[in-house]
Amino acid sequence: MKVLAFAASVRRGSFNRKLIALAARIAREEQSEVDLADFRDFSMPIYDGDLEEEQGLPEGALELKQRVEWADALIISTPEYNFSIAGPLKNAFDWVSRARPMPWRGKSVYLMSASPSPMGGIRGLWQTRIPFEGCGALVFPDMFALPHANTAFTKSGELAESRMAERLHMELVGFLRLAEAVSRICGKAVPPRERTRRSQIAAALEEQTAIQSGSA
């Protein structure tokens, strides 16, 4: 199974970059093919409808779109900004969501966060679910929020607390198994007899997306 993993942070010392590196290693141990991306690869301007109309999607958005389309599933570790979704991630999400067919639709997503706070960024994760689910992604019910992230990692990049390490491993394995099962339904390889019905469903969902998103 193909997995795109990235931390929605460009800070070199980001705790979320440490967490996504650990998650990517676990996914590889579970026999997944992992594309561990650097969020800097997806640099793009603030979403601007006029810019999109004149030039289309910027290079960074196209890069993210292509790597999302390659993957069966996504693992994303994101910081919490002011009790909500991180601005850079939301901006990238909005740009990519303008592509058709919708790149996020049918992708299994596992959300994580690491923060020095006692909450671990969980409030931001609840807000991050909303646009993904609204655009048809299948967000795993469990989310991993790592509190006190400034002291949570060993020098080798492992989680210092065994209970948290076991929980992360258990949730990731569960996510990967579910994502693999879902990919057989939502993935590119579809039996011929199911292609017509899948196309009908996709067209209906695209119409609904257009009604909901509109233009402002």
Q: Do 86 and 94 contact (CB within 8 A), yes or no?
A: no
Q: Taking the domain 2-213, which CATH number applies?
A: 3.40.50.360
Round to whole Å and give the CA distance between 113 and 7. 9
pLDDT at residue 162, rounded to an integer: 96
Chunked into runs of 10 residues, the chain (216 residues) has average pLDDT values of 95 94 97 96 96 96 98 97 95 97 96 96 97 96 97 96 97 95 72 58 58 50
pLDDT of residue 185: 78
What's the pLDDT at 171? 96
Strand partners, 6: 37, 76
| Alpha carbon distance 3, 53 (integer Å) | 31
Q: What is the pLDDT of residue 208?
A: 53
Find how far residue 157's CA is from the centre of its chain.
22
Q: Give the HSE-up count for residue 207: Cα atoms under 13 Å, Cβ half-sphere.
A: 6
Q: What is the DSSP string of 99-141?
A: SSS-TTTT-EEEEEEE-SSTTTTHHHHHHHHHHHHHTT-EE-S
Domain ranges of the chain: 2-213
What pLDDT was estimated at residue 193? 57
- Give the residue from 191, 189, 206, 197 showing the smallest Cα distance to 72: 189
Q: How many helices (H) and strands (E) does the chain have?
A: 7, 6
pLDDT attached to residue 136: 95
What local confidence, expressed as pLDDT, does residue 79 receive? 96
Minimal CA–CA distance to 76: which of 96, 56, 59? 96
Rounded to an integer, what is the distance from CA 160 to the centroid of its chain? 25
